[in-house]
Amino acid sequence: MKTLRWVDMAVIGLYFLVVAGIGWYFSRQQTTTEAYYVARRRVPFWAMGLSVFATIISSITFIAYPGAAFNGDWNLLVPGFMAVGVLCLLGRTLVDFFRKAVRMSAYEYFERRFGYSARAYGALAFCIGHFSKMGFVLFTITTAICAMTGWGASMVIIVAGSVTVLYTLFGGLEAVIWTEVLQGFVKLAGVIVALGVLIHLMPGGFPAAWNLVCAEHKLSLGDFHFNLAEKGNFWVMILYGGFWYLQKYAADQTLVQRYLVARSDREALRGVTLGALLCLPAWTAFMLTGTLLWAFFHLSGHVFPPQMMDDHGSIIADRVFPYFLTVWIPPGLAGLFIAALLSAAMSTMSSDLNCLSAVGVTDFYMRLKPGAGDRKKLWVGKIIVGVCGLVAVGVGEFIAREGDHALALYYATTAIASAGLAGMFLLAFFTERANRQGLWVGLGCALVFTAWAVLTTGPGRLLDVGWNYSGPEVMIGVLAHLIVLVVGYAASLFFPKEAPGPGAWTFWQWRKRSSPLGDENMAALGTQVNL
């Protein structure tokens, strides 16, 4: 498919029109940083939940999950279970705590616990990881959209990126959240359309596909024997998911900032729970899509063209879903799926842009200019959105030109830069003896380990030092968090114990002070910290 019918163009045009309209509507209300970054703390829980869902389900999900299921089994779904698991264990505590302990930035707590340098490290690690991700998510949509339409990759990246920057710049977090509500529905519609077309075209129908995938164990979640050195082991993926979502819920501005927009503590908890519960069936649908693609091509006996093969003659799994969309999706439904792909990239990018701006203003600019007025801070925040957005578009262009080399650099940079954030929170919140000197010893060890492991892992390693990392790649992050926690705590014992400052609560202190969500004493406690 190289051209779109008018109905497809109309769907894409309507999507862009509605997104731009939402941004324009909310642009008139962005007169304070309170509105721009936390939406005046008045967003209903269901909108917050859809926003969380749309932020997590990115364009990477659209490509990676079907590719993983096509190439193997459903092992990649396992970490997603911990999106709900971590929430069940700590969700109430984390939501309640952050709504009382911070005003706008998740990293304010690190400063109270370990000083400003810890806050700056956490904020900078977040910025590096999410800034580089924005260009990547723009790039991931080009393979399918360009193949389906004949459009150039540059045009797709520039148009999608520019529209996202504009509505985020002028509409603030309110525009981001309400566009994500729309984008959440569009994403769901897109994957449902793809599944429907796939089942409709399946040789022998769905029963034939189901019998084949069951016989070949394509629905397996991995080996259940406890072996942390085995790639794809169920327990390895559970550990990876646990620490990944602990970092998301406790040390990632994109989610912590969502807690702050809700009308009450209870609505914040309901919203983040809704978002997590929506993600599980969506991930399952993407995995099912990849599995059914495998069945479709096996049952049909289709021969892939050369551009679908790597240098060793194997099918490049991440290209299978875009290839199917290019060849088989009906023209009348192509526009809807393209809108879904665009929404997947734009929702992630818009959320990251607003959060990067919030971190830039609250964690860095206000430190340099503590006397700056709210109007000035808002102006600086909008500049950050504009500059970061334009550079992210450039990063997407760079990745499109450089291909695999740029992707390897992207993975290495983000993995090293964001090392240990979950471990840092565990050390701060669950230990009373930890201090800033111990933290930095732990972080230093974690950074050295992560750099060594990331650069020396896999057949395409960037560095060969003779003694290379040979464990599962997903365990690198897990081990980095544990190093910060264990080494940081042990090192703290060699330095004097610090007296906790205002708001430098640990979990144990928090339990003594806290009461059920919405209690007046908690509100007074939060007011004390925020003031």
Q: How confident is the model at residue 413 (pLDDT cuts 50, 70, 90)?
A: low
pLDDT in tens, 145-160: 887 787 888 899 999 9
Q: How confident is the model at residue 173 (pLDDT cuts 50, 70, 90)?
A: very high
CA distances from 50 to 44, 153, 181, 298, 418 (A): 10, 29, 5, 36, 26
- For the cut 90, the answer to whether the pLDDT of residue 52 exceeds it is yes
What is the rounded average pLDDT of the residues 437-457? 91
**pLDDT confidence of residue 407:** 47
DSSP string, 25-39: HHHTT--SHHHHHHG
Residue 311 CB neighbour total at 10 angstroms? 5
- For the cut 80, the answer to whether the pLDDT of residue 62 exceeds it is yes
Q: How confident is the model at residue 2 (pLDDT cuts 50, 70, 90)?
A: low
Structure tokens at 503: 């708001």
DSSP state of 262: B
pLDDT in tens, 486-508: 999 999 999 998 877 777 788 88
CB 247 within 8 A of CB 129: no
- For the cut 90, the answer to whether the pLDDT of residue 38 exceeds it is yes
CA distances from 343 to 68, 161, 174, 387 (A): 22, 11, 17, 21
pLDDT in tens, 68-101: 899 889 998 999 999 999 999 999 999 999 998 8
6-403 homologous superfamily: Sodium/glucose cotransporter (1.20.1730.10)
What is the rounded average pLDDT of the residues 158-174? 94
Structure tokens at 234: 């169920």
Domain ranges of the chain: 6-403, 419-498, 507-531
pLDDT in tens, 236-260: 999 989 998 999 999 999 999 999 9
Reading phi first (left if > 0) and then psi (alpha if -120 to 50, else beta), residue 39 is in left
What is the rounded average pLDDT of the residues 337-360? 92
Smallest CA-to-CA distance from 47 within 274, 249, 265 is with: 274
**pLDDT confidence of residue 327:** 82
Q: Cα separation of 420 and 450, whole Å?
A: 9
- Write out the E strands in 391-490: none
Smallest CA-to-CA distance from 381 within 257, 488, 280, 284 is with: 257
502 or 32, which is more confident?
32
**pLDDT confidence of residue 166:** 95
Mean pLDDT over each residue of the chain, to the nearest integer: 87
